[in-house]
Amino acid sequence: MAPQLATESVKMFSELEAKPSVEAAQKLAEMVREVDGAALAEAGLFQAIETATGGGKKAEAKREAACLAFGSLSADLKNHLEAYVIKLFPVVFQLVGDKAKTVAKAAHDAAMQFVGRAASNPAVACSTMAEMMHCLDSTKFQVKVAGLESIGRFARDCPGAVSVSMPELVPAVCDLLHDTKVQVSEEAEQTLKAITDVVKNKDVEELIPVLVEALMEPDNVPDSIFKLSCTKFVATVERPELAIITPLLVRGFREGEKKIVRQSAKITDNLSKLVEVATEAEPLIPKLTPALEQAAIHVADPECREVCGKVQLQIEKLKKNVDLLKSQSMDSKKFLEVLQKDKRVTVSDPVLLAFVADLCASNFEMKVMQPKVWAKNLLSVCKTEKDADTLGEMLFKQCENAMTGTVIEEEEDAAELCNCRFTLAYGTKILLKNTQLRLLKGAKYGLLGGNDSGKTSLLKAIANDQVEGFPPSTEVRTVFVEADILGELSHLTCLEYIFEDSRIKAANISKDAVISALDKVGFAGTGEQGGKAARIMDPVSSLSGGWRMKLALARAMLQKADILLMDDPTNHLDVKNVAWVEDYIRGLKDVTCMIVSQNAHLLETCCSRIIHIDNLRLHNFKGSIKAFVEEFPEAKSYFELKSSKGLSFRFPDPGFLEGVSSRGKVLIKMDKVDFTYPGNPKPTVVNLTVRVSMGSRVACLGPNGAGKSTMIKLLTGELNPDKGTTWKNPNAKVAYVAQHAFHHIEKHLKMTPTEYILWRYEYGTDKEALEKVTMILTEEEEKKLLEVRTWEFTDDEGLKRQKHVIEKLTGVRKNQKRAGYMYEVRFATKGSGEGPTGFINEDKLEEGGWGKHVKQTAEKILAEEGRFKRPLTQSNVEKLLVDVGMEREHATHTQMSQLSGGQKVKVVLGAAMWDQPHIVILDEPTNYLDRESLAALAGAIEQFKGGVVIITHNDQFSKALCPETWLVEKGDDGIGRLDCQGDADWMEAVMKEKTESVAMEEMVDALGNVTKVKQAKKKLTRKEKKQRELAKKKAKELGEHWSSSEEE
């Protein structure tokens, strides 16, 4: 029956040619509705319709008949015919410009019928977009108008189909805005507005009118670029918005004006980082790259050229991601191969199969994420609806990773521990967006990314069961290894500390098992002396950073983890212990590790895979860190001590220091100091003797547990020596950033960094400094202060010796008769009112038990002078934090509990620098900071005019900055001793170098009021006095005025 109907349809079309009518065309469509397309093609119906579209003036009826037939077939089209009818629309569209009005009208009506039918299935509309755009190149303006009208209809009814072609569509439509035919330019304007409505990006939506205006009128490009540069982009960027913005950016790059070029580069950089699926940007990269390259070469401003160069690297990175995804992309040819081989496909018609393959390719391009939609387009080639559903599901799964921008890893024998897709935010900041994480059993992953990219936050989120789709800890044992010890647990012994962990308690782990684990990582037993090793009964507060990390590893070992999450496991560790950690990780055959580290050697020797955080996504790489850096050279910056992003830190200059004119003059010192921690049977360090000046650049080196941090705590007054003496110039300010830096802020995590510094210095003095052991009075010391004793003091009447009780210290001045300082005191009185005052020598006050008050008074006076110079205001504190690398958003609006390790280090560093110290002591400053920040820190230390002492295991960092070395090592008796080494020529030069500090000339209060400070009169030499008298005499002889300022 079908062949007969097919033959009859050709005859019916011949009759239609002889007498064209809508009714006859509809009868033809009804006849062939159920006939197989291949049969109709074999009978010659479609060829006859196509042939009828040609001919000259005498063939008008045939052309009209062809248009009527095409329109009727399109109006109510079955899937099996669609594959053949769709091939006719290009030739019918061209007839819209036919000179015969009847033909032109029939062609236009047919074209709109076809467009209406195609718009009901976005895959069909998408597959016809290329041919539709050819209409815009027609020499006939009517065809252009019809093409624009059709594209506008698609944009309104099936925006997904238009979005795929936007990169080609936008410039094509823009070209027609200035067409000589008014009908074309007006329709082009309407179409441009319709296709720009396809954009659903909330960041761009409000700017659409501005962008359209700029596309229509090039003179508006600078203004549109400026408005784009003021927009904060956070939403995922897709092809439609890129298609609209890219032409403007290309014009911006070609403007040549530095400001516009720089803004265009910054916009390009921001948008490229928000492209979630790299292939969305594929058609636009070739347009942007040449313009960007030219700007990077020809712009006069070097900083602007540098910005363009960095954006070039970002675009190249995006292109690499495009290439990776294209390797797993699907096109019509690949889909056709799948359909031809699948048993569920029962049709062999090559035209129909090719058409369905095109529809599948359209679904892929539009990123259709509903398997049912895929199945709908497969019904015409499958025997049953169930077959179409299962085939659609299979094709969708096959394409899902490529559509979401996920690079498929090679299948391996190892078991899969997790394969999840999630978004991660911290506070108000999005760290990772719709990204995939896949971990295999026993694999070792290095986790890379810049500071603040979310590395530590990801590890903590996994450990706390906060990552959507990640297996819960009840199924996969996940342990986060970090060396930080909470303040409330610091009094516990190592053994008690492990038992305090809730997971250890829940696992009912025995004491013997814990002792065995501690023994494996090197701890000495309960009955052993320890020697160079820490003992399991030592308090955790006495452990060095290296031993704290070993304690954390022992705790992790006891939990028999499936996944170890390690945040900088070599922090605080010396070379020997780093090697131990590397061996330990390599020995974990069945344990998966995710490791954050700046130690390239550890990552190279331990990790066979890299997970890279970039542009809010996790990017997987199979291979060593060396291979990864070769593939992505920009990652080299993670391991180099230099800044590729222009990041810089700046330390404030030290304040004026009375009586100190040389940078080599000693400000703090220790002589023959011994110290033993409470409960330890032997001293930790003995015979320590050191000197520190404003010219010092000291690297304090030695193995873990040798006593480096103990020595520094003694030097800064954090600890009291058992034997020997420590001294600090009472006017000198010393900033100390401890090894476990977070202890400074752990009680204030609900504050923002700015709030913390405002609190810490609100009364002028540093509250942290007043909490030192050496600043807190014991009960015995308080009683001693109330004793009546004979004091030798000086007042306005001269030197006196009287019995008094000192009420408080109120001031300080330099002793004019001998070295040292005198402090103003107020004596207690029995009656009402204030007691008498006088000045007492520093050493006499210390003998009388007022030593700690002497230090506190000096600190308060120095702090007051600092407050006059720089008021404690939010803006000043914020600027200080920006100077040490913090973003203003984090400095003022983010609680410290939400900050990364690197950000917290910057907070502690900034807080320590508020007082404008003369000496900065940094205990393991390289921990938690990435290489960009380390390079910036090194630059700040090089430029700093005060003294610096650094404890570090980072050889590259210490050698670049410190010509002087303090080497602390334990002997066989387990006691730490010091060996001072250094560059003698350098030290001699520093001793001679003059300080550049100047006395305070003006004071500024919190309201910004400025008051001039009168300087102390300078004592003149005999020669200067004689010269002054001669100048005064000469002035009088000449009748000139001699001012009082000249007299002074």
What pLDDT digit, counting tens, does each position of 280-312 carry? 888 888 888 898 888 888 888 888 888 888 888
Which phi and psi angles does 882 have, rounded to 5°? -65, -35
For residue 1015, pLDDT beyond 60: no
- Sheet containing 609-614: order of strands: 478-481, 563-567, 592-596, 444-448, 609-614, 617-622
Per-residue confidence at 742, pLDDT binned at 50, 70, 90? low
The pLDDT value recorded for residue 70 is 92
| Interatomic CA distance for residues 536 and 551, integer angstroms | 9
> Are 109 and 66 a contacting pair, CB within 8 Å?
no
Burial class (CB in 10 A: 0-12, 13-18, 19+), 1045: exposed
**Which has the higher per-residue pLDDT, 1033 or 881?**
881
Per-residue confidence at 1004, pLDDT binned at 50, 70, 90? very low
- What mean pLDDT do residues 559-568 have? 87
The pLDDT value recorded for residue 122 is 92
- What mean pLDDT do residues 732-739 have? 80
**Which has the higher per-residue pLDDT, 186 or 204?**
186
The pLDDT value recorded for residue 598 is 79
**Which has the higher per-residue pLDDT, 786 or 565?**
565
For residue 973, pLDDT beyond 90: no
For the chain, what's the residue count?
1048
- What mean pLDDT do residues 31-40 have? 85
Q: What is the pLDDT of residues 236-284, one digit of tens each?
A: 889 999 999 998 999 888 887 888 888 898 888 888 888 888 888 888 8
Tokens of 927: 């921990």
Per-residue confidence at 407, pLDDT binned at 50, 70, 90? low
> Are 994 and 1004 a contacting pair, CB within 8 Å?
no
| Interatomic CA distance for residues 438 and 428, integer angstroms | 26
For residue 530, pLDDT beyond 50: no
Q: Which helix (H) or strand (E) holds 114?
A: helix 101-119
What distance, in Å, lies between the first and last C-alpha atoms of the chain? 125
Per-residue confidence at 1001, pLDDT binned at 50, 70, 90? very low
Within 10 Å of residue 372's Cβ, how many Cβ atoms?
Answer: 12
Q: What is the pLDDT of residues 408-435, one digit of tens each?
A: 555 556 788 888 888 887 655 678 888 8
For residue 590, pLDDT beyond 80: yes
Per-residue confidence at 33, pLDDT binned at 50, 70, 90? confident
Which phi and psi angles does 475 have, rounded to 5°? -100, -40
The pLDDT value recorded for residue 409 is 57
The pLDDT value recorded for residue 365 is 92
Residue 1006's contacts (CB-CB under 8 Å, 6 or more residues apart) are 871, 872, 873
- Pairing between β-strand 947-951 and β-strand 919-923 as defined by DSSP bridges: parallel
**Which has the higher per-residue pLDDT, 265 or 776?**
265
3-state DSSP assignment of residue 448: strand
Task: Identify the weakest region by mean pLDDT among 379-383, 555-559, 984-988.
Answer: 984-988
Nearest alpha carbon to residue 809 among 773, 776, 766, 858: 858
> Are 99 and 105 a contacting pair, CB within 8 Å?
no
For residue 1040, pLDDT beyond 90: no
Within 10 Å of residue 362's Cβ, how many Cβ atoms?
Answer: 25
**Which has the higher per-residue pLDDT, 926 or 145?**
145
Eight-class DSSP state of 237:
B
The pLDDT value recorded for residue 835 is 83
For residue 117, pLDDT beyond 70: yes
Per-residue confidence at 987, pLDDT binned at 50, 70, 90? very low
The pLDDT value recorded for residue 645 is 58
**Which has the higher per-residue pLDDT, 1004 or 698?**
698
- What mean pLDDT do residues 704-721 have? 84
Tokens of 421: 């897709």
Unique residue bearing structure tokens 């032997």? 682
**How wide is the angle at C-alpha 1032 spanned by C-alphas 1031 and 1036, nearest 5°?**
115
Task: Identify the weakest region by mean pLDDT among 240-244, 639-643, 1005-1009.
Answer: 1005-1009
For residue 901, pLDDT beyond 80: no
Residue 943's contacts (CB-CB under 8 Å, 6 or more residues apart) are 650, 651
Per-residue confidence at 1000, pLDDT binned at 50, 70, 90? very low
| Interatomic CA distance for residues 612 and 621, integer angstroms | 8
For residue 183, pLDDT beyond 80: yes
Unique residue bearing structure tokens 């507060």? 541
- What mean pLDDT do residues 131-135 have? 89
- What are the residues facing 800 on neighbouring strands? 793
Unique residue bearing structure tokens 């609806």? 385
| Interatomic CA distance for residues 922 and 924, integer angstroms | 6
Per-residue confidence at 592, pLDDT binned at 50, 70, 90? very high
Per-residue confidence at 489, pLDDT binned at 50, 70, 90? low
| Interatomic CA distance for residues 124 and 126, integer angstroms | 5
Task: Identify the weakest region by mean pLDDT among 560-574, 648-662, 775-789.
Answer: 775-789
Alpha-carbon separation of residue 924 from 236, 509, 576, 934, 960 (angstroms): 39, 34, 17, 12, 15
| Interatomic CA distance for residues 761 and 1020, integer angstroms | 39
Eight-class DSSP state of 539:
B
CA 395 to chain CA centroid, nearest Å: 36
The pLDDT value recorded for residue 483 is 61
Can you state the angle between helices 302-326 and 285-298, rounded to 10 degrees?
160
Nearest alpha carbon to residue 111 among 68, 82, 141, 79: 68
Q: What is the pLDDT of residues 825-880, one digit of tens each?
A: 888 887 777 888 898 888 888 788 887 777 777 666 665 555 556 788 888 899 99
Within 10 Å of residue 861's Cβ, how many Cβ atoms?
Answer: 19
Tell me the average pLDDT of the chain. Answer: 82
* Range among 615-629, 641-655, 886-900 rated most confident: 615-629
Can you state the angle between helices 901-913 and 874-883, rounded to 10 degrees?
120
The torsion angle over the Cα atoms of residues 108, 109, 110 and 112, rounded to 10 degrees, is: 80
- What are the residues facing 620 on neighbouring strands? 611
For residue 142, pLDDT beyond 70: yes
Per-residue confidence at 1024, pLDDT binned at 50, 70, 90? low
For residue 72, pLDDT beyond 70: yes
**How wide is the angle at C-alpha 428 spanned by C-alphas 426 and 434, nearest 5°?**
60
For residue 986, pLDDT beyond 50: no
